[in-house]
Amino acid sequence: MQPFLFYAEIVEQTIREGTPMRVRLRVVPNPDFVDAGDNVVFDIRFLLDDNDLLPDGTTAAGGSNPVPQITGSGIYYYNFSGLAVQQAPYSLVITVTNSTDTDQTNLLTTPATFSFLVIPAPVVPPNQTAVSLSRYTPPDTVDEPFWDNLKASQIKFKPLYDFVISTGLCNPDANSPGSPMLNRLPFVGVGQYSILKFAVEAYMVSAISPGDDPALNNYLVTQGNFANAKVLPYYNMVLQNLQQYQFDVVDTACKQKLYDKIRNFNPLELIYDYWMDQAGLTQAMNLICLRFQNIDKVPELAALYRLDTNPLLPLSNLLWGFCQDEQHTVSQRRRGHEYGCAYGLTLIGDAVRNVRGIDNRSRFLEAYHTLLHKCAVYYVKSDDTTYIADGLPVLNALKEVHILLAEGNHNSYSNLTFTARHENIVRQFLLSQPEMDRFLGGRAMVPYAEPWQGPLDTVRGMMRWGNAGARNFYDLAYYGELILLSVRWGNWSAAIDPNQAANWADAFRNEIMQYIHSYRAVAGVDLSADTTSLSEEHFRQPSWHIMKRMVHDRNTGKQGARSSASATG
């Protein structure tokens, strides 16, 4: 039995000539592997249109580099730089084998065969003189590859769903008697739910790393006080104040744990879970659990009367395990306290009544919305080809948000962020099951980004939680997380070049404008308003705006005014 599970994917299906094609390989510890013994070496083979190629584009027979090998878990990136130029689709087959295995058995959890297209580079015009106005582009800065890495590392539901199915729920090894994946919980008859929890956790753990991405070589800093670990520039500044923990060699388990922590970073942001709470994801699953257990706790549960799961189908047992395990999940009150500590954000409802924290970021919302507004103003000016937009206002706003995020990055933040996301992914997985759609129904013609959003919208309509759709809340969660990750882990406190902030604004333009649009759809407030500065209305709590809109919907006869947090009780 092998100590790791392997999961391969390509970053882009279409690449432009001259741009490397990137392969990402996730290596996850195998829960069924008990005694690892010595490190096992695995060979990675890339077959491109029936030709053996190394990541540098040379053939395995004639290349100067050895066949790529790995010995540990993590995320590995491989760039193919020597592709031939053609428009015909390429076919890439990836295999991972034990270096000592004579049979060369492919160990990939899901066989990886990808098709991708190389498109020609823009045509260079013939020699001629042309006069035109073009948008000013700031000089490149060293942190741009890091932003690309962040975007590629964000957890996406579809590959996670496929991983859970192939590695866990439908994997014979995971379901075999004695498998640790079956027996993680102290309850009877919850094996399938236990596998679901473990598989989600394994996938998330594999994402908590910047990865061995060659593009980050010039961005990461070598930390001489900690065995020459390659760390984020932001971490490097923090580690300079931790001289008492320094070590030259990683020779103990305690040093290894610290070494792993400073080399890696958490690509998760708690604001994702905040917007999931505002969408009612936790509350919807709580109501479904109450109905599943035949508990009549709130009058609105009558709307879920017809939710009868079939014990012959998978959902019934998964819901049984989910309800049994509810006592081990993070409560909404506890999440509410951490939202206040990290962002100064609050929820409104019976379940979070009188939530007061000791340390709250009371100025974060003002600083964050000011940053978004400065970016919107910058985009208008930078689109004017007769004007060179100044990135300094964006840089100053970035510094302020970065410091506030750093102040809230203590105590429970990292652990609670991982746990809350894990629990929300499990809820999303359950809502995305075909049986859930059968019982709850939904609008089949609405183009939801992920399959759990339709059933959630159905529950929102039944419970009269307002007219804003789950898709808007998801966009706020997804894009808000990416924006704040780039601010939290960037070394903005030491930045003095306005071009760095200008490049950041350009790199995240789509995410920032999508967040601004979705915030207007949910809260009714336009953060891109053409004003010199924002008003007090822009700095009010999102939960206040959401409640106000629900009250308006009730008074106009469209929706009820029940808060998105009140259903948990």
Distance, CA of 563 to CA of 278 (rounded, Å): 9
Question: Would you state the pLDDT for residue 208?
Answer: 67
- How many CA atoms are closer than 13 Å to the CA of 504, on its beta-carbon side? 35
Query: Token match 């305690």: residue?
Result: 254
Question: Would you state the pLDDT for residue 63?
Answer: 54
- Taking only the tens place, the pLDDT of each residue in 502-542 is 999 999 999 999 999 999 999 999 998 777 678 888 888 99
Is 336 part of a structural domain of the chain?
A: yes
Among 105, 120, 135, residue at a domain's last position: 120
Over pLDDT 70: what percentage of the chain? 91
Amino acid letter for position 23: V
Which domain CATH number covers 50?
2.60.40.10
Distance, CA of 549 to CA of 554 (rounded, Å): 9
Task: List Cβ neighbours of 61 (8 Å cut-off, separation of 6 or more).
Answer: 52
Highest mean pLDDT among 46-50, 173-177, 367-371, 443-447: 367-371
CA dihedral over 211, 214, 220, 226, signed as positive or negative: positive
The model's confidence at residue 138, banded by pLDDT at 50, 70 and 90, is: confident
Distance, CA of 65 to CA of 55 (rounded, Å): 9
Whose CA is closest to 160, among 396, 493, 451?
A: 451
Cβ-based neighbour number of residue 37 at 10 Å: 7
The model's confidence at residue 118, banded by pLDDT at 50, 70 and 90, is: confident
> Is the predicted pLDDT of residue 484 greater than 50, yes or no?
yes
- Taking only the tens place, the pLDDT of each residue in 140-184 is 899 998 998 888 888 889 989 998 998 888 888 888 887 878 878
Question: Would you state the pLDDT for residue 84?
Answer: 54
Is 18 part of a structural domain of the chain?
A: yes
Is 19 part of a structural domain of the chain?
A: yes
- Taking only the tens place, the pLDDT of each residue in 179-189 is 878 878 888 88
Question: Would you state the pLDDT for residue 562?
Answer: 40
Distance, CA of 191 to CA of 165 (rounded, Å): 14
Cα–Cα separations (whole angstroms), residue 446 to 310, 443, 451, 499, 534: 27, 6, 11, 40, 34
Question: Would you state the pLDDT for residue 566?
Answer: 38
What 8-state DSSP symbol labels residue 555?
H
Q: What is the helix (H) or strand (E) element at residue 552, kind and residue range?
A: helix 542-555
Amino acid letter for position 92: L
Q: Which residue has the higher pLDDT, 239 or 297?
A: 239
Is 239 part of a structural domain of the chain?
A: no
Among 89, 104, 120, residue at a domain's last position: 120
Check: CB of residue 262 under 8 Å from CB of residue 235.
yes
Check: CB of residue 216 under 8 Å from CB of residue 489.
no
Is 283 part of a structural domain of the chain?
A: yes
DSSP codes, 258-320? HHHHHH------THHHHHHHHHTHHHHHHHHHHHHTT---SGGGGGGTT----TTSHHHHHHH
Distance, CA of 353 to CA of 361 (rounded, Å): 19
Q: Which residue has the higher pLDDT, 261 or 472?
A: 472
Please state the domain count of the chain.
Answer: 2
Question: Would you state the pLDDT for residue 60?
Answer: 66
Question: Would you state the pLDDT for residue 479?
Answer: 96
Question: Would you state the pLDDT for residue 178?
Answer: 79
Q: What is the helix (H) or strand (E) element at residue 92, kind and residue range?
A: strand 90-98
Whose CA is closest to 391, among 405, 412, 377, 407?
A: 377
Q: Where are the alpha helices (DSSP H) in 389-447?
A: 392-407, 413-431, 434-440
Write out the residue range of the structural domain in which residue 429 sits: 271-568
Among 120, 141, 158, residue at a domain's last position: 120
Whose CA is closest to 275, among 16, 462, 519?
A: 519
Output the pTM of the full model: 0.83
Question: Which range among 294-298, 338-342, 343-347 shows the weakest confidence by mean pLDDT?
Answer: 294-298
Is 428 part of a structural domain of the chain?
A: yes
> Is the predicted pLDDT of residue 11 greater than 60, yes or no?
yes
Tokens of 274: 């905040």
Buried b (16+ CB within 10 A) or exposed e, 493-532: eebeebbbbbbbbbbbeebbbbbbbbbebbbebbbbbeee
Average pLDDT of the chain, as a whole number: 84
Is 248 part of a structural domain of the chain?
A: no
Cβ-based neighbour number of residue 246 at 10 Å: 12
Whose CA is closest to 45, among 114, 106, 110, 116?
A: 106
Is 113 part of a structural domain of the chain?
A: yes
Question: Would you state the pLDDT for residue 377?
Answer: 93
